[in-house]
Copies of this chain bind each other. A is one copy, B any other.
Amino acid sequence: MKIGFIGVGNMGGPMCRNIVKNTNHEVAVFDLNADALARCVEVGGTAAGSVAEAVANADVVMTSLPKPPDVEAVALGPGGIGEHARPGTVYFDLSTNSPIVARRIAEALAAKGITMLDAPVSGGVVGAEAGTLAIMVGGDHAAFEAHLPLLRSFAANPIHMGDVGTGSTAKLVNNMMAFCNMAAAAEGLMLGAAAGIDLHKLATVIRTSSGNSHIFQKFGDRALSGQYEAAFALDLAYKDLHLALELADELGVPTPAGAQTHNLMRLARGLGLGGDDSSSVVRVYEQALGRSLARPSGRA
């Protein structure tokens, strides 16, 4: 098969290279960043000069782009997939997109004979490099089944969620829960710290109790050591939560927990922490108390 891959940044890059390495497909790659592009060509990809060139002869097109408007522009804009891909092309969008936008794109492309599936991934840069990403796919079931070997060449566990948009919905719901659990973890640890409890013992107890969460396990170590280099940057978490809340707004779903977390993120961004890890929401609490989780007996 011929594959056109657009967007080879932090996430798209390793996914693209895993396809090149793990399959025999021809992969035409496009990115505005020449260095990112070069890293894919090094392992066997072919550089394309434009989106149009990358998709013109492709059987399968893939995009991995920062935000919904970027995807919409590449998919439906001038010089984009809709104009240049052939009827019969199958298109997987690997970005974290809005399900609303995903459905709009899929509908527009369907009119040109292109089958679009939203297929956001989960697992971070580490999972992308290791090929262990989870991938949640919404859209035509037969197209999903037919391309399982391709999906498995860069992701460990593809799962079909339903119609177009359901892949994105699953991703956004999961991430909203994760960020809310993060706020709960931060709030609980700060309460323990303010009460003068040994945080390492507290973390040990919670890890085996009803308060435990995936994010607490990750967050605990991080916050207790005061390490906030971005594993998943606050700005990206904020973007994902924003998309989740936009979806909730469209559907009229109350989101008291999500909205609280959203506001906490905004306050953390106001402290200049947008580029740090999303666990930096704890620093909003630290500032309000004048103490740090990492040094619970002193002042921040």
Residues of A within 8 A of B (CB): 99, 122, 134, 136, 157, 159, 161-163, 165-166, 169-170, 172-178, 180-181, 183-185, 187-192, 194-198, 201-202, 204-206, 208-216, 218, 242, 244-249, 251-264, 266-267, 269-271, 284-285, 287-290
A159 touches B215 (CB 8 A): no
A266 touches B251 (CB 8 A): no
Contact of A214 among B169, B209, B270 (CB under 8 A): B209
| A212-B211 contact in complex given A181-B180, A257-B187, C-beta closer than 8 Å | no
Q: Tell me the nearest residue of chain B to A258, going by C-beta.
A: B187
A177 touches B169 (CB 8 A): no
Q: How far is the CB of A193 from chain B (nearest CB, A)?
A: 9
Q: Is the interface of A mostly helix, strand, loop or mixed?
A: helix
B249 touches A256 (CB 8 A): no
| A214-B215 contact in complex given A195-B247, A258-B187, C-beta closer than 8 Å | no
B181 touches A169 (CB 8 A): no
Q: Which residues of B contact A256 (CB under 8 A)?
A: 183, 187, 256, 260, 263-264
Q: How far is the CB of A255 from chain B (nearest CB, A)?
A: 6
B266 touches A190 (CB 8 A): no
User: What separation, in Å, do the CA atoms of A242 and B254 have in the docked complex?
Assistant: 12
User: What separation, in Å, do the CA atoms of A279 and B65 have in the docked complex?
Assistant: 38
The listed residue with most B CB atoms (<10 A of its CB), out of A169, A195, A206, A262, is A195
Q: Which residues of B contact A191 (CB under 8 A)?
A: 169, 172-173, 176, 244, 247-248, 251, 253, 255
B254 touches A197 (CB 8 A): no
A184 touches B177 (CB 8 A): yes
User: What separation, in Å, do the CA atoms of A204 and B170 have in the docked complex?
Assistant: 10
| A255-B263 contact in complex given A176-B187, A188-B174, C-beta closer than 8 Å | yes
B173 touches A188 (CB 8 A): yes
Q: Which residues of B contact A214 (CB under 8 A)?
A: 209-213
Contact of A249 among B185, B242, B244 (CB under 8 A): B242
A206 touches B177 (CB 8 A): yes
Contact of A212 among B136, B161, B213, B284 (CB under 8 A): B213
Q: Which residues of B contact A176 (CB under 8 A)?
A: 184, 187-188, 191, 211
A and B contact pairs by CB, cutoff 8 A, 15 listed:
A159-B204, A166-B196, A166-B198, A173-B188, A176-B191, A178-B211, A180-B187, A181-B213, A187-B255, A209-B214, A210-B218, A253-B285, A255-B263, A267-B288, A271-B288
Q: Tell me the nearest residue of chain B to A157, going by C-beta.
A: B208
Q: How far is the CB of A154 from chain B (nearest CB, A)?
A: 17
| A252-B289 contact in complex given A134-B205, A159-B201, A214-B212, C-beta closer than 8 Å | yes
Contact of A173 among B169, B175, B192 (CB under 8 A): B192
